[in-house]
Chains A and B, each alone.
Chain A
Amino acid sequence: MITPHRRPRIAVHKFSSCDGCQLAFLNLGEPLLALAEHVDILHFAEAGPVDESAEADIAFIEGSVATSTDAARLRGIRERSRYLVTIGACATAGGLQALRNLADGQAWIEGVYASPEDIDLMADSTPIARTVRVDLELWGCPVNGEQVLGAAQALLAGHLPYVDHAAVCTECKRRQAVCVMVAQGTPCLGPVTGTGCGALCPRWQRGCYACYGPAVQANAAALASYLADSGMPPDEIARRLLFINNQAPAFHDAGRDWQARVIQRSGDEETP
């Protein structure tokens, strides 16, 4: 249990990210104000309070480790925090910016910036858990604000939160949403993606694009084969898997496999 003689302290830290996960938390509105009545929010730049050196009972981490200073800053936060919770795809899997892990990132920097020597960037964008111990990972791009609040509530009550490891499909069916893949032929990554979003996209007639990361036993290779049999070109299969959570192993491995087939095929075509 959190020590009862003082109010629990919460910090929300930003690493390499778009701030969208902080905003998803902030957008909770009234429930966040209710939380603030029970805890001290010491550091949450998007909401106002700034004290990055604060000691906290729960440190929520947004963003990936992308620069050399990030890692040192992160280790300091870990030392000052009782629970460390990653929020969102960047913090949990390296994020969209980890696409550079799959390419020549240095060439991109030199192509984009007038003074590339001023850019301090590590070769890879990596998840928080690659650098420090993480107590809980919450996926999503952005994270579900309700899920962050639920995690805070559970940790403050002294137990680890419930995280649903079912695929998006399970949540679709719980909400009686009609499967877009079966009824419309819309490619959907829901069968290999973990829920947490409330099946948001399929409920609005859109295929899931896997922003919540792989389901716990995601069979991405099998889904990719089926999409290929249904006529999806290999490069599109690779792009769908190597997207927001491209460094999550289940998506990375299957995506790289299909990317290799594209390279193989274009190589074959060049051969007279």
Chain B
Amino acid sequence: MFRVPFLVALALSVAFGLGIASAVQALKTTVGFGVIALGPWTAFPNAQTASADPYARAHRARQGRLLYGGAEGLQFIASVDSAGAPLEAACAYEIAGQTPVARFWTLYMTDLQDRTLTAAPELPTALNSWTALHEGDGVIHIRLSAAAQPGNWLALTAAGPFRLVLTLLDTPTAGSSGLIDLGMPAIRKLGCGSHA
């Protein structure tokens, strides 16, 4: 005799449970469509515009961050290395290669909640195109490790997973899909734990 109420309750719980869970999961895992992926680096050049898709809009409304306008810059984020393994602060990495054309770039690290990682003031945790050492042909080599390194070095002090944020400021590539042809620096894992 409780058949009909049971069926109604089943339909409602499936609708609300799955509907809410799938929406929350979709907004957590994806920033939307229109991604540009260059190796491990990803960017969303249209996320701040009116032409962003509904997922990108919902995601940015939930994040509430100040995004970069088209003429300001383009932000690339990497949470994996070039081999696809998640970035871990217990490992050592080398970023090597050329950055796309831009007037400036900045590189810093964040945790998975997008909070900028900091360390003691005497340790470098961020670099920009003025402070980084470039080789003769414009190639940069940046070491990320807990132990100090010669050349460009970023200190990995906190434990756990992290992300790399490379912001290209005033880049002609921000508005064009021609970005696909450009190269981004590779992120190579050098070793983990005591081998780092």
- The answer to whether A and B interact is no
Using a CB–CB cutoff of 8 Å, the interface residues on chain B facing chain A are none
